[in-house]
């Protein structure tokens, strides 16, 4: 059994690879051909230990992601096994996979819920996940402008992001300025309260809310949820247990008719966007299927590279 580092993963996985393998994994899950293990959190003395996992026979891999949270810092490890003979295949660092898979799933959701002619992204939070989302959304849609709304924005960071995304990047003083006419909205913050008034969302926009996975925090308000025609989640049992955006919503706003799983969208069991002017939301908390699918792909790529040497 080998150990795979973040740098090794970065060397063999591109965002396009991640989007493809994750789409396949969610399609298999949507058809009942894969299974997930919900996140379990254990805490003592201010230290959290969390675990989540998945079994994906169609991709030949099963495994678990384990991580600690200490003073807001995360340290991740993934262990994967073969679904053919049950043997352990590899352990691996998981920071690169976590960064890559979250943005890739937002792009997958956008392919079903956003308009195909998106040109402008409003980005709330320009940290690691926000930057990854900006890069993948820019590549997927050929964006003309990214607007950053962040508590600590710098002109230098905006300039670096512009070079990486090959597009114009503008710092905004307020949420209203960032949202004005935006086609895509990504919330990648550590906010505990809604970031903006949901009435300010432009008709026809797609929102990827990925910053919170705790039941007492939220980035979107009730008006954003009320105006949305469709709210997509990775997996209802985990999302309805963890996503404060949904848990804290007023009764009647998150209905079975509005809520849909990503696996149902990609497998064609549920429709995506129906009209240009509707507002759609993807609420992500991060699930084990994503980590294990990408870990399996990284293992296969690195094994193939070793065999060629």
Kindly report the CATH number assigned to the domain that includes residue 211. 3.40.50.720
pLDDT of the residue at 252: 92
Rg for the chain (alpha carbons), in Å? 19
pLDDT of the residue at 78: 97
Same domain, 58 and 198: no
Adjacent-strand bridge partners of 239: none
Same domain, 91 and 169: no
pLDDT of the residue at 1: 86
CATH number, domain containing residue 46: 3.30.1780.10
Same domain, 76 and 140: no
Token digits for 64? 């678990």
Same domain, 11 and 109: no
Which residues, 6 or more positions from 277, have their beta carbon under 8 angstroms from its beta carbon?
A: 203, 204
Same domain, 90 and 123: no
pLDDT of the residue at 213: 87
Same domain, 274 and 297: no
pLDDT of the residue at 72: 82
Q: How many domains does the chain have?
A: 2
The model's pTM:
0.95
Same domain, 156 and 63: no
Same domain, 252 and 193: yes
pLDDT in tens, the chain (309 residues): 899 999 999 999 999 999 999 999 999 999 999 999 999 999 999 999 999 999 999 999 999 999 999 988 889 999 999 999 999 999 999 999 999 999 999 999 999 999 999 999 999 999 999 999 999 999 999 999 999 998 887 889 899 999 999 999 999 999 999 999 999 999 999 899 999 999 999 999 999 999 988 999 999 999 999 999 999 999 999 999 999 999 999 999 999 999 999 999 999 999 999 999 999 999 999 999 999 999 999 999 999 988 776
Same domain, 256 and 207: yes
Q: Locate tokens 């991640």: which residue?
A: 18
Its domain, for residue 64, covers 2-98+288-308
Same domain, 227 and 156: yes
Which stretch of DSSP H or E encloses residue 304?
helix 288-308
Token digits for 4? 């795979």
Q: State whether residue 121 is helix, strand or coil.
A: strand
Same domain, 82 and 24: yes
CA angle 135, 140, 146 (to 5 degrees): 50
Same domain, 149 and 29: no
State CA 35 to chain mean position distance.
Answer: 18
pLDDT of the residue at 218: 97
pLDDT of the residue at 159: 94
d(CA 24, CA 293): 9
pLDDT of the residue at 309: 62
């Amino acid at each position: 059994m080998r150990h795979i580092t973040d740098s090794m993963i970065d060397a063999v996985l591109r965002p396009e690879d991640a989007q493809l393998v994750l789409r396949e994994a969610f399609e298999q899950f949507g058809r009942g051909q894969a299974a997930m293990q919900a996140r379990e959190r254990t805490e003592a003395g201010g230290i959290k230990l969390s675990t989540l996992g998945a079994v994906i026979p169609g991709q030949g891999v099963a495994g678990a992601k384990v991580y600690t949270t200490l003073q807001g810092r995360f340290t991740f490890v993934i262990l994967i096994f073969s679904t053919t003979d049950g043997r352990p295949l590899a352990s691996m660092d998981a920071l690169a996979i976590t960064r890559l898979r979250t943005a890739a799933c937002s792009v997958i959701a956008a392919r079903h819920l956003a308009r195909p002619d998106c040109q402008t992204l409003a980005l709330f939070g320009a940290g690691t996940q926000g930057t990854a989302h900006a890069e993948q959304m820019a590549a997927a849609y050929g964006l003309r402008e990214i607007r950053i709304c962040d508590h600590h924005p710098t002109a230098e960071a905006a300039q670096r992001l512009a070079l990486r995304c090959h597009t114009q990047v503008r710092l905004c003083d307020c949420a209203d300025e960032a949202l004005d006419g935006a086609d895509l909205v990504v919330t990648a913050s550590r906010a505990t309260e809604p970031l903006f008034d949901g009435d300010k969302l432009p008709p026809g926009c797609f929102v990827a809310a990925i910053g919170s996975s705790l039941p007492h925090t939220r980035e979107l308000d009730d008006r954003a949820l009320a105006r949305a025609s469709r709210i997509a989640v990775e997996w209802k049992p985990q999302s309805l247990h963890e996503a404060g955006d949904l848990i804290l919503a007023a009764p009647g706003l998150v209905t079975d008719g509005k809520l849909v799983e990503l696996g149902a969208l990609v497998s064609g069991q549920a429709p995506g966007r129906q009209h240009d002017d509707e507002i759609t939301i993807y609420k992500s908390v991060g699930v084990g299927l994503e980590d294990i699918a990408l870990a399996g792909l990284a293992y296969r790529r690195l094994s193939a590279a070793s065999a060629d040497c």
